[in-house]
Chain A
């Protein structure tokens, strides 16, 4: 591997569609075991440069593939993802497989159970290839905060893949998996999908169980899929969505057949365009791509109209107060007692806590824990945390009002295309501001899909974010399909 070169390289390769692979496996013309082996070959070839996979779960994958092949040969019914090679972001626990959340503090941890989303993939016949790199505890927008080194963008290896689910987006873009799971707290699925030129889904809060997702900010965290096309992403969501008694916030609403729903034309849908997402800071090339996508929607028979979301400018401060406050509480569990790293240099309990955390956590995680602890501390709680929760309601209600008038809202997913490695890593605030278009939907609990919508002159992908009301994923998929269909 030319891993020392500074010359940007492309590893872009489009996976076959899930439906094609599934049909081949069902017919017997594709063997799930051969398919899995070919993906491990691809990983061997590309991983040294891209740093996507942190660990491989070959044994479990090959067992599953063999099971699928045996069932297919006998003509037994196959699950909707039978034999499909899938990768899992390393913030989701998988029984017996190393699970680090991108942190040193969990190095060597092997969880005793599967996350619900992982269990559902497994039950649907998916072949789970391994665990995928991400920003430490999903905190970051570039994947540079991983304790195991940054992931590189397969489109241009000198650029970041986005974050925090950068590895999950890169895996699909480089055909190191047909689809992957990620998590999104403030944009962690949508922004990397946009940077890598793949489809990413932010399901409605509660649509997918969080059981087994290592918690960052519990009122915001979502589990969602990445895929190379909208229909595959819809199929993936259909498998992982649904009520789970182990997550009290999971929705009991029935799960539609999202893939079939996504086949419906977008004609007649009312599309809102919020001026607040097209102002200062938006890269002109990104703007041009998104405007092209909006034109394509008009051509497809959608009605495009302006909507107003005036509280958008308050979303970043609101998000970073709410998310860090919740993180400071959630990350208290990493204390060297039950799992993960314990500092050997501790003779008292208190010293063990602080040494273990100090040696185990990276700088960004410490920064967010400190900010969150500060915002929750005596004397500041009302001014920061409570205030942020009030503004959160204003932001959410503003979306509900907008969705009374339109079926979907379209925006750029990120203000710029993928930036260079190291470009923003020294300035935390600049990195936070890059989440401007994604944190709003996170705070409001609504759903969205990001879909590739053109490239810049330099060939960097641009994503359009399609937002829809709570539990209205089907509409977001239909609109995203229309945008996708208009791409060359």
Chain B
């Protein structure tokens, strides 16, 4: 857990997250990520062998909650015209985006 983030890592992670960073931004992020990950490294002191990860509160016994799934029935969705009117570009049925495949 002591891995240092290098400039290539920042570039790769930004690409995964669909973010573009200016060289100056990338520099700042490199510094910040390393500072934060240095702090986070103290978790490795703890022996967590055999501890079941807790991803959701419903997985915690004694917390009074359990996931409550609703019956699988069809219910009306949001009004399509209202949803479409908030989008940057549509043909009123589909969202429109720039060309994906050249032909």
Contacts and interface: CB of A to CB of B under 8 A. Distances in A.
Chains A and B bind each other? yes
A393 interface: yes
B55 A219 contact: yes
Contacts of B52: 390, 393
Contacts of B86: 109-112, 338-339
Interface string B1-33: 101010001101110111111000100110011
B19 A370 contact: yes
A342 B89 contact: yes
Contact of A355 (B20, B28, B44, B53): B20
Contact of A394 (B35, B39, B51): B51
Given A374-B5, A394-B46, A445-B63, A342 B29 contact: no
Nearest to A386: B53
Given A337-B87, A352-B97, A373 B54 contact: no
Contact of A370 (B17, B87, B89, B99): B17
Interface stretch (A163-171, A247-255, A291-299): A247-255
B55 A337 contact: no
B33 A317 contact: no
Contacts of A390: 48, 51-54
B50 to A, nearest CB: 9
Given A243-B68, A250-B68, A318-B43, A370 B10 contact: yes
Most buried by B among A340, A358, A432: A358
A358 B64 CA distance: 41
A391 interface: yes
B88 A342 contact: yes
Contacts of A317: 39-43
Interface string B58-76: 1010111101111000000
A332 B99 CA distance: 20
Nearest to B51: A390
Contacts of B41: 317
Secondary structure dominating the interface of A: helix
Interface residues of A, number: 78
Interface string A334-378: 011111111000111111111101100101001101110110010
Nearest to A432: B36
A430 B1 CA distance: 21
A354 B28 CA distance: 19
Contacts of B29: 366-367, 370
A7 interface: no
A387 B33 contact: no
A1 interface: no
B93 interface: no
Contacts of B88: 336-337, 339-342
Interface of A: 109-113, 204-206, 219, 243, 245, 248-253, 311, 313-314, 316-318, 320-321, 328, 332, 335-342, 346-355, 357-358, 361, 363, 366-367, 369-371, 373-374, 377, 380, 383-384, 386-394, 396-397, 400, 428-429, 432, 445, 470-471
